[in-house]
Amino acid sequence: MTIYRVLGKKGRITIPYAIRKRIGFRYNDILSFTEQNDGSVVIKREKLCDNCIDIADEDSEDITLEDFLDSLSEEEQRDALIHLSLLWAEKQKVSF
């Protein structure tokens, strides 16, 4: 699966929801970024202590797509629109 994101001018990017969900990344996780010799980057969730309580399950309430989109910043909404437009174009076999 390939998902595209636009890097913001402040160097920020949103990890796609599908990837966060599949890998298990959650709000307030500590992530490390390790550059590989081939120029790729490995992102890992880090564990800072062995006795930490997992409170992430408390956040597991249902949310609608509209609520999720409303919770995004304007830049994140723009990135989501670009991503969805690219997905739509791929499915429609549209070229830009």
Host H or E run for residue 74: helix 74-92
The DSSP annotation for 43-55 comes to EEEE---SS----
The residue-averaged pLDDT of 40-47 equals: 86
How much is the pLDDT for 80? 85
Model confidence at 4, pLDDT cuts 50, 70, 90, reads: confident
pLDDT band at 69 (very low <50, low <70, confident <90, very high): confident
Express as a percent the part of the chain with pLDDT over 90: 7
Which range in 49-53, 82-86, 90-94 is most confidently predicted, on average pLDDT?
82-86
